[in-house]
Amino acid sequence: MAFSWMFLFILSWHYPIGIDANNKFPDKEMLYGPGEFGTDTPQFILFTYSGNLSEKTRKSLTELFPDTYRNPDGCPIRITLFIVSQDADPCTVHRMYSKGHEIALSGINFTSRVDSWSKDDWNASIKAQQLLIINASNVQQLDIAGMRAQRFFPGSNEQFEMLNENHFVYDSSLLIDPKSPQLKGTNYIWPFLMTKESLDRISCQGGCPNKTFQGLWEVPVNQLFDTKTINLKCTFLDECLSHCQNGNNVSDLLDVHLQYVLNGHRAPLHINLRPLTLDSPIAVDGIRKFLDRVRQKKDVWIVTMNQLISWIKVPTPNSFLVPKHFWQCSNRVYTKCLETTKTHTVFRVTFGNKINVKILLLWQTLFLVALFIVAYTYDRYSTDVKS
């Protein structure tokens, strides 16, 4: 009987996402960063991809970020992928995950305004996506640590209450204007714990949260700006290329932003990609040229969002990162996908209607109840036989 109860207990914990993070992070450090290391603060670059993940996209990303591109500690550089499940290829997600890239959530394709969603709506949507990625792509539950609202349109307090209750580590939905008056003209900002005081100091689009969410981190998206038109802010890199004629122009634009943060408080530089970015030859060429420059620097690190937060919790000077082996090279075991997954039926469920998501969760609940009944009956039968 004890085995059955333990088995069901483990299954019941299939839902929560990520791990808890209760480290305190003073509000002032959202501007200046942790540690007070000055120029010995490592400079982090966050490459993220948002959108569907097809085999074509995987090949483009793998060519753009090959294993030969490495950080100062010798580990291959890795990026964070915010997946839209309905359009994702399960085998492709697993292949990127096994390479050490971070898999994060961006929900299913929404057909309604999420700022009107309840916490239950968010729960249903995100848990459905979690189950799809875990079961179809063999991604470990604890490795799914963060999410980003589609179109960077957050869902007010309800979204973040859901994140908190499900033990997410971070959100990355809030866009930050580097020239925001709330920040008094300072440079980009660092990730911060979501306290009411911190949230009051920034502005964002959509349904902005306005209260404390204990232990939940926000990795704010520090927007790029067009160097020719300083008032033009760019969420994705391809939005800033109107004045770029070739890859050298793109590389120079990224280098301007890198110098901007290096000469400031060394807050992370965000470079957000999407399918349109990967379809731009000059964008791809410019990123390659930029990476060739970055790889020569011993104080610049390209990391995932979860890796960045792990550093913030235990801030370490750049000069000690390599000797201490702060991050382990994160390749994982690759499990070959079955040919039957090519139909992608698990990922192709229609989730435009929120009711369908709730039906999926209802079926899983009924399955667990049935499993409990079978286990209980088996234990009773075994006891009767022994007696």
Q: Quickly state the pLDDT bin for 79 (edges 50, 70, 90).
A: very high
Q: Quickly state the pLDDT bin for 212 (edges 50, 70, 90).
A: very high
**In whole angstroms, how far apart are CA 335 and each of 20, 97, 99?**
28, 11, 11
Best mean pLDDT range from 30-39, 191-200, 276-285, 366-375:
276-285
As beta bridge partners, residue 302 has 45
Best mean pLDDT range from 58-62, 113-117, 133-137, 223-227:
58-62
* pLDDT for position 187: 64
* pLDDT for position 345: 42
* pLDDT for position 347: 47
Q: Quickly state the pLDDT bin for 216 (edges 50, 70, 90).
A: very high
pLDDT by residue (tens digit) across 179-209?
554 444 456 889 999 988 888 877 777 778 8
The larger pLDDT score, comparing residue 384 to residue 320, is at 320
* pLDDT for position 161: 92
Which residues lie closer than 8 Å to 61 by C-beta, 6 or more apart? 49, 79, 96, 278
* pLDDT for position 89: 86
Ranges 103-112, 130-139, 220-229: which has the least confidence: 103-112
The larger pLDDT score, comparing residue 81 to residue 368, is at 81
pLDDT by residue (tens digit) across 300-353?
999 999 999 999 999 999 999 987 778 888 767 777 665 434 444 444 443 334
Mean pLDDT in the chain? 80
Ranges 8-12, 286-290, 351-355: which has the least confidence: 8-12
* pLDDT for position 124: 83
Q: Report the pLDDT averaged over residues 202-224.
A: 87
Q: What is the three-class DSSP state of 192? A: strand
Q: Quickly state the pLDDT bin for 386 (edges 50, 70, 90).
A: low
* pLDDT for position 25: 44
Ranges 52-61, 96-105, 149-158, 374-383: which has the least confidence: 374-383
Alpha helices in 138-217 (DSSP H): 156-165, 196-200
Neighbours of 106 (CB within 10 A): 25
In contact, 273 and 50? CB cutoff 8 Å: yes
pLDDT by residue (tens digit) across 124-182?
888 888 888 988 888 999 999 999 988 888 888 899 999 999 899 999 999 887 655 44
* pLDDT for position 82: 96
Best mean pLDDT range from 12-26, 116-130, 323-337:
116-130
Closest C-alpha to 150, from 210, 84, 88: 84
DSSP H or E segment with residue 146 = strand 146-147
Q: Report the pLDDT averaged over residues 215-236.
A: 85
Ranges 119-123, 251-255, 277-281: which has the least confidence: 119-123
**Strands 192-193 and 221-222, sheet pairing:** unpaired
The larger pLDDT score, comparing residue 9 to residue 375, is at 375
Q: Residue 7: is its pLDDT beyond 70?
A: no
For the chain, what percent of residues have pLDDT higher than 70? 75
The larger pLDDT score, comparing residue 263 to residue 170, is at 170
Q: Residue 233: is its pLDDT beyond 90?
A: no
Q: Spell out the domains of the chain, with CATH numbers in brackets.
A: 21-352 (3.20.20.370)
* pLDDT for position 27: 57
Which residues lie closer than 8 Å to 225 by C-beta, 6 or more apart? 178, 179, 231, 232, 233, 234, 240, 257
Cα Rg of the chain (Å, integer): 22
Closest C-alpha to 104, from 53, 68, 32: 53
For the chain, what percent of residues have pLDDT higher than 90? 45
* pLDDT for position 242: 86
* pLDDT for position 338: 52
